[in-house]
Every structure is written in C-alpha cells, then in structure tokens.
Amino acid sequence: MQNKYDIELSEPSASRCDCCGGLTVRLTRFVYRAGDAFAIYYAAYSNNHPDSELAMLVSLGEWGEGSDPSQRTAFYCRVFPTKDSYEVMLGDATQSAWRDVAIIGERLSREEALRHPWKATAFEVLDEAFLQDRSLRGFLHRVQCGDASVPLERSFQAPDDIFALGDQVTGRTELRRNFASLDGKRFFVRCLLPVPVEDYGTWSVGLWIEVSKPDYDHIEESWDDPLSYPNLRFGGMVANDLGADLGLPVRAGCKVQLHVPAPDSPPRVLAPATGDLAALLSNAWTKPAFEAYAVARGFL
C-alpha cells in the first residue's frame, strides 16, 4: 500500500550535549501529501539523557508557494518510548525549542492543541514520521534495547542474491537464522564484521558469507558443539554489498577469512593483509567521524 505521506529526509545535525556529554540530534523534515507540501516537523533527542524523551513539533496548514505563516498551526509533542511503541503528550508550543521559528505559524498551548480540529492530523503525521524516518526509528529502537547511546548494528537479513528474488524464493531457498542455501548449489553462513571505533569499542555489521558445500556442512555440524565450534576457521566470499548499502569498502564477492573469537560469539571476519577492508578492520574509526556517519543513518 502506498504511503499517504511522503517525507523528505534531509541530513540531521548533531552537537555535543553540555549536560550529559552525549549527542543531541536535531531533525527538520518536510512532509508532502499527494505531491503537495503539507507539513513540516522538527524533532530533537539526546542519546544520553536518562528520561529518553524525544521532542517534536508538527506545523500544519498551507505550505505551498506564496503561503504565509499565518496560515499554519504548530503542535508541540513530547514523545516517550515504551517497551513496544511510544506515548505522545501534547505540550505548549510557546515553551518548545522552536518557539522562535517564524515559519511554523500559530503556536498552540496544550489546552488549545487538545481542542484543535487538526489534532488528529498532527498525530497522523507524527505516526507516519515514526514509520518512515530512520532517525526516529533508530532512537526508538535504541531506547527499547536499553541504551540510546549505543549505536545500532546493521544486520542483513539475507544474502543479496536471495533477497533479490523477492516473491520467487519459494522452493529455491532455505533461509534460517544463521544458515542459508540457494538452489541447493550455493551456501551461506551469517557472520559479523567487527569495525573498531574510538571510545565505542567495536561496531559490528551482521552479514552473510558464501562458503563451499564441505565448509558449510562442517560449520553446521560444529555450530552447537562446544568443543569444535571455537576452533572453526574457514574462508568465503562476502554475499552482501556494504558499499551500496552502508558506504563501507566491502563489496559482494570480496574474499575473506573467518574465525570464532569466543565460544559464545558468531564467526567474525579477519582483516586481510592489504586493501581498504584491511584498513577498515585494523584502524579505529575516529569518534567524530563515526558519529557523523552513524547519525546520518539513524544508528545514533
């Protein structure tokens, strides 16, 4: 089903929070309905605040060419993540961080917002934002996982060649949590790519590695064996394009070696001797550069 709204996802901005040392992320998003400018929303969150509150302001009204702020109305929303979703409380827009932004139009108090006929539409735009906006989804997911300051780890759900089959996977593939096969001729194992990051330790990407049939059988046999699993060593080819999806120097078909670093750890990619992948896995990503990268993708 086609979305009722389209949201223009511009680059977020981030700054260091004076009170907690974490990141404060700010978003400005333009919302379209049936191709026409319909609303704008602002959002802000700090990834290290104990209350995990997210602030949003939704401005509705006329946004087309020649329109005027007097034709718009602004709703201030305080969003509180819950275990499975989120709760929204209307607040006073004149007390929000965007109270001095002229283009948002009339700033409603909480009482005015509760009575306003556009209230349901403001909530509808907010709900759509949490469906489409990766920054909002990422914040919500991190809070629900227990710590909003820990960057999300990207995990590919299937090898690219299996994912690309779409509805044609039936009868051709077997896809489990850690193992997959295609046409009974190609075999894959889910592994981790560990990327060192300054102050964050290791940020990992869950990806699939294509292996030979003998290695696949041996890995599967050893997976739940406490004696043989820690000794697994095998080679294969990366089965996901991390360049296209994540902007990382890891292309599908790249040859890698893998090992098991600990009995309770998935197999991990070892750095090759040379090349861009070797540099990625051997040199710690600087904290500012990683934060800029992660915030832009909704990982922080």
pTM of the predicted protein model: 0.87
DSSP letter assigned to residue 146: T
Give mean pLDDT, residues 79-106.
Answer: 95
Q: 35 exposed, middle or buried (CB, 10 Å; 0-12, 13-18, 19+)?
A: exposed
Residues 195, 284: Cα–Cα separation, whole Å: 7
Q: For residue 171, what pLDDT is reported?
A: 86
In residues, how long is the chain? 300
pLDDT digits (tens, 9 = 90+) for 45-91: 988 777 789 999 999 999 988 899 999 999 999 999 999 899 999 99
Residues 153, 195: Cα–Cα separation, whole Å: 10
The per-residue b/e assignment along 130-157, b for 16 or more CB within 10 angstroms, e otherwise, is beebebbebbbebbeeeebeebbebebe
Which uninterrupted H or E stretch holds 2? none
Q: H helices of the chain, where? A: 110-115, 119-132, 134-145, 160-163, 213-222, 242-246, 276-282, 287-296
CB 160 within 8 A of CB 188: no
> Hey, what are 135's tokens?
């920054």
β-bridge mates for residue 76, sequence order: 57, 91
Residues 122, 158: Cα–Cα separation, whole Å: 37
**Phi then psi dihedrals of residue 90, to 5 deg:** -75, 140
pLDDT at 214 over 90: yes
User: Which of 139, 26, 27, 23 is CA-nearest to residue 80?
Assistant: 139
Give mean pLDDT, residues 197-202.
Answer: 94
β-bridge mates for residue 243, sequence order: none
* Res. 94 pLDDT band, cuts 50 70 90: very high
β-bridge mates for residue 155, sequence order: 206
> Hey, what are 40's tokens?
């704008």
pLDDT at 13 over 60: yes
* Res. 272 pLDDT band, cuts 50 70 90: confident
Planar angle of CA 272, 275, 278, nearest 5 degrees: 45
Computed over every residue of the chain, the mean pLDDT equals 93
Residue type, 262: A
Based on DSSP, count helices (H) and strands (E) in the chain, helices before strands: 8, 15
